[in-house]
Amino acid sequence: MQPMLSMRSVSKSFGHVQALIDVDLDIAAGEVLGLLGDNGAGKSTLIKILSGVYYPDEGEFSRSGDPATIESPADARELGIATVYQDLELVDTRPVAHNIYLGREPRKWVVFLNRRKMEIEAAELLKRLNIELPSVKVNVDLLSGGQRQAVAISRALAQGGDILLLDEPTAALGVEQTEQVHRLVKSMKQEGKAIVLITHDLSEVLDVADRVVVLRQGRLYADSRSSDTNLNEVVGWITGAAPPRLSKAEALT
């Protein structure tokens, strides 16, 4: 199957530091990809390149087979890449519905906000994703961490994201709230979205992700179906104790 997003030979350095070296990656529709690596392995650099914050020194991208360029966050948005950052970027003082449609509010007579439509659509979106909230009219600062994360992810979807980059979505959450986010990831997967999950929680990855990709010192170190590996091996990849495995990437090229 044609990958939704491919990157080939992507490299990026900051001064003398080579953050990413010759990385190939394919992201497929309906797939949850767990992106792993120690601190400084290049995860955030990779995410920032995909979301248009950094521009790579070398490398090519294609979106559903067509060559694409990602030179700015606007380009990334255009390609349907939506990033949900750790710090969430929600507007605490605004209701759920406005947070979801921020920057893309439905309008009436050009200048007026179509609040009704916005609230109905937000409620429908949340329902579709099985997110339970008291009301879309509630300010975001009254929500729990899991609910906030759910709103942030809903926004990424509402803004037309097909490829979702989730940066540590469960880092600050409790068990129940983490479960909530995992359910949400699963329902997005069923909708055919591609999801890149960055996390430190290894058992989470093996549980939720279909595939794990490990970066080590800026290079692609392992790329495996999660069903073909185990926790020990993944830890080995991250620390470099286990030999690299790039089965899937090789199969694709």
Partner 1 sequence: MITALRKRVKAQGDWTLLGLGATLVVLIVYFSIASPYFLATRNFVNIGQAMAIRGLIAIALTVLMISGGIDLSIAAMAACAGMVAASLIMEGMNGTLAGLIALVAAIGLGGINAFIIIKLRITPLIATLGTLLLFRGTAYVVSGGDNKAIGVNTWSWLGRGRLFGNNLPISLVVFLGILIATMFFMRFTVTGQYLYAIGGNAVACRNTGVKVDRLRSSAYMFTGLLAGFAGLALMSQGGVAQPQALFGAELDIITAVLLGGVALTGGRGSLLGTLLGLLIIGIINNGFILLGLQVYWQQVVRGIILIVAVALDSFRRGGGYR
Please report, as ranges, the residues that interact with partner 1 according to CB under 8 A: 73-74, 77, 89-94, 98, 102-105, 107, 111-113, 132, 134-135, 138-139, 141-145, 155, 159
Instruction: Tell me the closest approach of the beta carbon of residue 91 to partner 1, in angstroms.
Output: 4
| Other CB atoms within 10 Å distance of the CB of residue 44 | 19
In which region does residue 240 sit, left (phi positive, over 0), alpha (psi from -120 to 50) or beta (all else)? left
Residue closer to partner 1 by CB (options 82, 194) is 82
Residue closer to partner 1 by CB (options 105, 210) is 105
Residue closer to partner 1 by CB (options 102, 123) is 102
| Other CB atoms within 10 Å distance of the CB of residue 240 | 13
Residue closer to partner 1 by CB (options 93, 230) is 93
CB 172 within 8 A of CB 200: no
Instruction: Tell me the closest approach of the beta carbon of residue 226 to partner 1, in angstroms.
Output: 31
Instruction: Tell me the closest approach of the beta carbon of residue 248 to partner 1, in angstroms.
Output: 32
Residue closer to partner 1 by CB (options 3, 95) is 95
Residue closer to partner 1 by CB (options 40, 174) is 174
Residue closer to partner 1 by CB (options 113, 252) is 113
Instruction: Tell me the closest approach of the beta carbon of residue 47 to partner 1, in angstroms.
Output: 14
Instruction: Tell me the closest approach of the beta carbon of residue 183 to partner 1, in angstroms.
Output: 17
> Distance between the two ends of the chain, CA-based, in angstroms?
13
Q: Is 144 helix (H, G, I), strand (E, B) or coil?
A: coil
> What single DSSP character describes residue 230?
-
Instruction: Tell me the closest approach of the beta carbon of residue 44 to partner 1, in angstroms.
Output: 16
Q: Is 29 helix (H, G, I), strand (E, B) or coil?
A: coil
Please tell me the distance from the alpha carbon of residue 123 to that of residue 54, in angstroms, as a whole number. Answer: 34
Instruction: Tell me the closest approach of the beta carbon of residue 12 to partner 1, in angstroms.
Output: 21
Q: Please give the single-letter amino acid code of residue 87.
A: D
Going by C-beta distance under 8 Å and a sequence separation of 6 or more, which residues neighbour residue 102?
A: 91, 94, 155
Would you state the structure tokens that stand for residue 12, as one six-digit string? 């990026």
Please tell me the distance from the alpha carbon of residue 37 to that of residue 213, in angstroms, as a whole number. Answer: 8
